[in-house]
Amino acid sequence: MSAGVPWDAARAQEIISAHLGLEGPALPILHAVKKEFGYVPEAAVPLIADALNVSRAEMHGVVTFYHEFNREPHGRHVLKICRAEACQSLGAEKLARDFLAQLKIEWGQTTPDGALTVEPIYCLGLCAHSPSALYDDEPMGWVDAERLNEIAAEAQNK
Amino acid sequence: MTKVYVPLDFAAQAMGAERVVAAIEKEAALRGVNVQIVRNGSRGLLWLEPLVEVETTEGRVGYGNVKPSDVPALFDAGFLFGGAHSSSIGKVEEHPYWKRQKRITFKRCGVIDALSLDEYIAHGGFRGLARAFAIGPEKTIEEIATSGLRGRGGAGFPVGIKWKTVHDCKADRKYVVVNADEGDSGTFADRMIMEGDPFSLIEGMIICGHAIGADKGYVYLRVEYPQTAKVLGKAVELARAAGWLGPKVNGSNDFAFDVEVRIAAGAYVCGEETSLLESLEGKRGIVRAKPPFPAFEGLFGKPTVVNNVLSIATAPMILEDGGAAYASYGMDRSRGTIPLQIAGNVKFGGLFEAPFGLKLSEIVNDIGGGTLSGRPVKAVQVGGPLGAYVPVSLFDTPFDYEAYTKVDSLIGHGGLVVFDDTVDMSWMARFGMEFCAVESCGKCTPCRIGSTRGVETIDKIRAGENVASNIDLLKDLCNTMKFGSLCALGGFAPYPVESALRHFPEDFQKPALEAAAE
């Protein structure tokens, strides 16, 4: 499950404070914020910037640089389909395109019922089992259309 | 109690290893049989995952592609005593794929319980460290230099020289940084060793820290590897609890060293060492201009060794057996072994560690068994998304840093992605440019703008628009990117494009050919 708890500034402050002993704590803080809330809310940025004594603009720059830090909540489940070369060598590109068309969404979007977000990923290191994907925390190799349909159905029901 | 091995490797998990573990536990309980399930790493015979092994008096017997539904039948067949079953592959260490290898870096991977310090030590663990402590930093660095080990991340820079440079710097702090941002498609060796033999990386980091005078090491690990983060994180905890990390490392006089695993955030460019350092410092992963090199001004401006996972994880073996022993393998200036990662459209995908010098014809056809689709091989992309597409006509080039440079290719991290004859190389060239555009850090113009212009130009070519002049333009653009970019992302992105153009020109003439056919 990727959905987090609702935004809570005091909780965010706690998370930030817990990491201030680290050298260069920005990424660990952002990961922890994402883990708690399911995304990096806009409201977290000034809090982190203050704690690290950098400008908001600078912190905004950090958050937006990295693919991992989504700034809007995901659906209840996230499916990341690999688009890298090894997976392409066994038809991943068409597989993903067909699946997205069937769900009537684009890369990075969530189905209207909020069940499933589909994102591209560039390599899961499962290149001997192409095409591969990551469904929430579960890796999957030799994925085909049937397996993707099962996931779409499962996401809807949970 | 019978030991049953089920890999905890991410690839084994992707093929259902956790469900197989649950099924074995359930079936054993049902039958009142005592089994001890050991979580080893993967041996790298990846097409057989999950590869379940049973320890018998004759050695370890393997069962490949085990599904949870196979488990009752396996018990019926007496697999706990090595009994025959359709999934049996016999003794694992007699399997030709395993037997033909020369395993140095990966000698323990898949063999031992990945998270058992006792097994690690029983299989030679920490012997390299003991020797490093005994001979001291200067001699340690000499051994690494003698081994001829070159940076396994792709750049191939001599590891000994890097360590010596940092060792010779005077500074109040120094750092060991392990680049575990293994983002290249077709590569998974770093992931496998960190999951299958994590203590070898930790031991290598301690050796490096002691040699250069650093007391802190970071592993910058890509976020796409959640299982690696779990296993390596646990290994660090275990090592610390047992006194291998901390204020006085076991076996040392007073050497303090600790390791922290830092999770990256999905930016490919952070595999480039200077942007990796920026990211570790908590900034945008923007490439730094070099010089100054990280060896002089690295993490937080301090002298830093940045090495790939495999480079560091090989250091213990080099110290244990001596640099000369490692250097006795390989060819020319590529010494030792290279863990090849055979991937993509291939029958026997996996990890195959061998001395440098193998040819693609052997690796792909012989070891890899040809394509999974059964169609003819068209090209192999060697060295990740920034590596060239090598056509069958160059399959006799020996796997060696310099030999590949000579044919305008690179061996990179040793990843090989096989494509069959259905691949459209102009599409792959477009993808290469698109990937560069998505992942460019944006600091330098050739990479930031060039990659976007590259996509547009290839789109025009694919649409049949002024093909000849657009191909000239694309070649010119590639040249600008190659020589004008700050780092390897923009500098090497032209490799796949140029190689596609050079070896598969017909794929860029499709609309014209289609028009002529009509």
Do the Cβ atoms of B109 and B5 come closer than 8 Å?
no
Q: How would you list the strands of the sheet with B304-308, edge to edge?
A: B258-263, B216-221, B175-180, B304-308
Nearest to B343 among A67, A127, A137 (CB): A127
Is A11 annotated as ligand-binding? no
Candidates A2, A58, A65: best to mutate against B (most CBs of B within 10 A) is: A65
CA-to-CA separations, A71 to A37, A45, B262, in angstroms, rounded? 10, 10, 21
ipTM of the predicted structure?
A: 0.97
* B266/A68 Cβ within 8 A: yes
Do the Cβ atoms of B411 and B399 come closer than 8 Å?
yes
* B417/A123 Cβ within 8 A: no
pLDDT of residue A2 exceeding 60 = no
Same domain, A50 and A82: no
Phi, psi of B511 (to 5 degrees): -60, -40
How many angstroms separate the CA of residue B192 from the nearest CA in chain A? 9
B349's CB contacts (< 8 A; 6+ apart) are A127, A128, A129, B46, B47, B342, B343, B368, B372
pLDDT of residue A19 exceeding 70 = yes
| Domains annotated on chain B, with CATH | 2-100 (3.40.30.10), 119-328 (3.40.50.11540), 330-420 (3.10.20.600), 425-508 (1.20.1440.230)
Candidates B224, B280, B428: best to mutate against A (most CBs of A within 10 A) is: B224
Is A147 annotated as ligand-binding? no
Q: Which of residues 112-131 of A touch B (CB under 8 A)?
A: 121-130
Distance CA(B193)–CA(B374), nearest Å, equals 30
Cis-peptide into A139, omega within 30 deg: no
What is the CATH classification number for the domain harbouring A103?
3.40.30.10
Do the Cβ atoms of B280 and B263 come closer than 8 Å?
no
* B49/A85 Cβ within 8 A: no
Q: For residue B209, what is the enclosing H or E element?
A: helix B198-212
How many angstroms separate the CA of residue B382 from the nearest CA in chain A? 11
Same domain, A88 and A151: yes
DSSP symbol at B398:
B
Distance CA(B249)–CA(B243), nearest Å, equals 6
* B373/A90 Cβ within 8 A: yes
Same domain, A61 and A81: no
Q: Which of residues 53-72 of A touch B (CB under 8 A)?
A: 61-62, 65-69
In this prediction, residue B510 carries a pLDDT of 74
CA-to-CA separations, B465 to B293, B304, B476, B498, B503, in angstroms, rounded? 44, 50, 17, 19, 21
Is residue A138 in some structural domain? yes
CA atoms within 13 A on the CB side of B175: 25
Do the Cβ atoms of A23 and B257 come closer than 8 Å?
no
How many angstroms separate the CA of residue B346 from the nearest CA in chain A? 8
Nearest to A86 among B280, B343, B439 (CB): B343
pLDDT of residue A1 exceeding 70 = no
Distance CA(A147)–CA(A151), nearest Å, equals 6
pTM of the model: 0.96
Residue B428 CB burial class (10 angstroms; 0-12, 13-18, ≥19): buried
Do the Cβ atoms of A78 and A70 come closer than 8 Å?
no
Phi, psi of B319 (to 5 degrees): -65, -40
Is A82 annotated as ligand-binding? yes
Write the pLDDT tens digit of every residue in A56-80: 999 999 999 999 999 999 999 999 9
Output the average pLDDT for chain A: 96
* B11/A128 Cβ within 8 A: yes
Question: How many CB atoms are located within 10 Å of the residue B170 CB?
Answer: 7
CA B483 to chain centre: 27
Torsion sign (Cα): B297, B301, B305, B308: negative
* B267/A67 Cβ within 8 A: yes
* B262/A139 Cβ within 8 A: no
How many angstroms separate the CA of residue B217 from the nearest CA in chain A? 12
Is residue A50 in some structural domain? yes
B400's CB contacts (< 8 A; 6+ apart) are B330, B331, B332, B333, B334, B356, B357, B411
Write the pLDDT tens digit of every residue in A97-131: 999 999 999 999 999 999 999 999 999 999 999 99
By C-alpha distance, the chain B residue nearest A126 is B11
DSSP symbol at A139:
E
Q: Which residues of A touch B341 (CB under 8 A)?
A: 127-128
Q: Which residues of B touch A57 (CB under 8 A)?
A: none
Tell me the pLDDT of chain B (518 aa) as tens digits: 899 999 999 999 999 999 999 999 999 999 999 999 999 999 999 999 999 999 999 999 999 999 999 999 999 999 999 999 999 999 999 999 999 999 999 999 999 999 999 999 999 999 999 999 999 999 999 999 999 999 999 889 999 999 999 999 999 999 999 999 998 999 999 999 999 999 999 999 999 999 999 999 999 999 999 999 999 999 999 999 999 999 999 999 999 999 999 999 999 999 999 999 999 999 999 999 999 999 999 999 999 999 999 999 999 999 999 999 999 999 999 999 999 999 999 999 999 999 999 999 999 999 999 999 999 999 999 999 999 999 999 999 999 999 999 999 999 999 999 999 999 999 999 999 999 999 999 999 999 999 999 999 999 999 999 999 999 999 999 999 999 999 999 999 999 999 999 999 999 997 656 656 65
Q: Which residue has the tokens 């201009």?
A: B289
Give the 3-state secondary structure of residue B343: strand
Q: What total of structural domains would you count in chain A? A: 2
Question: How many CB atoms are located within 10 Å of the residue A136 CB?
Answer: 14
Of B492, B448, B456, B449, give the one whose Cα is nearest residue B474: B456
Which domain-ending residue is among A42, A65, A88?
A65
Of B346, B355, B413, B397, give the one whose Cα is nearest residue B499: B397
Is residue A3 in some structural domain? no
Same domain, A113 and A54: no
Is residue A72 in some structural domain? no
DSSP symbol at B125:
T
Joined together, the tokens standing for residue B92 give 């694992």
Joined together, the tokens standing for residue B458 give 């290839």
Same domain, A46 and A97: no
Q: For residue A81, what is the enclosing H or E element?
A: strand A77-82
How many angstroms separate the CA of residue A76 from the nearest CA in chain B? 19
Length of chain A: 158
* B49/A129 Cβ within 8 A: yes
Do the Cβ atoms of A92 and A81 come closer than 8 Å?
yes
Question: How many CB atoms are located within 10 Å of the residue B374 CB?
Answer: 9
Torsion sign (Cα): A48, A49, A54, A58: positive
* B345/A130 Cβ within 8 A: yes
Strand partners, B150: B158
Same domain, A81 and A148: yes
* B417/A86 Cβ within 8 A: yes
Q: Which residues of B touch A62 (CB under 8 A)?
A: 282-284
Strand partners, B262: B220
Same domain, A144 and A96: yes
Q: Which residues of A touch B187 (CB under 8 A)?
A: 123, 125, 127
Is A127 annotated as ligand-binding? yes
In this prediction, residue B512 carries a pLDDT of 59
Length of chain B: 518
Is residue A25 in some structural domain? yes
* A122/B279 Cβ within 8 A: no
How many angstroms separate the CA of residue B504 from the nearest CA in chain A? 16
Joined together, the tokens standing for residue A136 give 């929430």
Instruction: Provide long-range contacts, Cβ within 8 A and 24+ apart, for B95-98.
Output: B95/B45, B95/B62, B97/B45, B97/B348, B97/B350, B97/B352, B97/B367, B98/B43, B98/B45
Which domain-ending residue is among A18, A42, A65?
A65
CA-to-CA separations, B265 to A51, A95, B53, in angstroms, rounded? 20, 26, 35
Structural domain of A105: 77-157
Is residue A104 in some structural domain? yes
Do the Cβ atoms of A29 and A11 come closer than 8 Å?
no
Same domain, A53 and A96: no
> Looking at this protein, which amino acid is placed at residue B303?
P
* B46/A121 Cβ within 8 A: no
Same domain, A39 and A87: no
Joined together, the tokens standing for residue B297 give 């001004």
> Looking at this protein, which amino acid is placed at residue B208?
C
Same domain, A124 and A92: yes
How many angstroms separate the CA of residue B64 from the nearest CA in chain A? 14
Is residue A121 in some structural domain? yes
Same domain, A61 and A82: no
In this prediction, residue B517 carries a pLDDT of 60
Phi, psi of B164 (to 5 degrees): -65, -40
* B349/A128 Cβ within 8 A: yes
Write the pLDDT tens digit of every residue in A24-62: 999 999 999 999 999 999 999 999 999 999 999 999 999
Write the pLDDT tens digit of every residue in B155-203: 899 999 999 999 999 999 999 999 999 989 999 999 999 999 999 999 9
DSSP-assigned states of every residue in B364-376: IIIIS-S-SSSSP
Do the Cβ atoms of B146 and B324 come closer than 8 Å?
yes
Is residue A71 in some structural domain? no
Same domain, A93 and A141: yes
Do the Cβ atoms of B11 and B227 come closer than 8 Å?
no
CA-to-CA separations, B499 to B211, B346, B387, B428, B503, in angstroms, rounded? 41, 21, 9, 11, 6
DSSP-assigned states of every residue in B433-452: HHHHHHH--SSSHHHHHHHH
Give the 3-state secondary structure of residue B40: strand
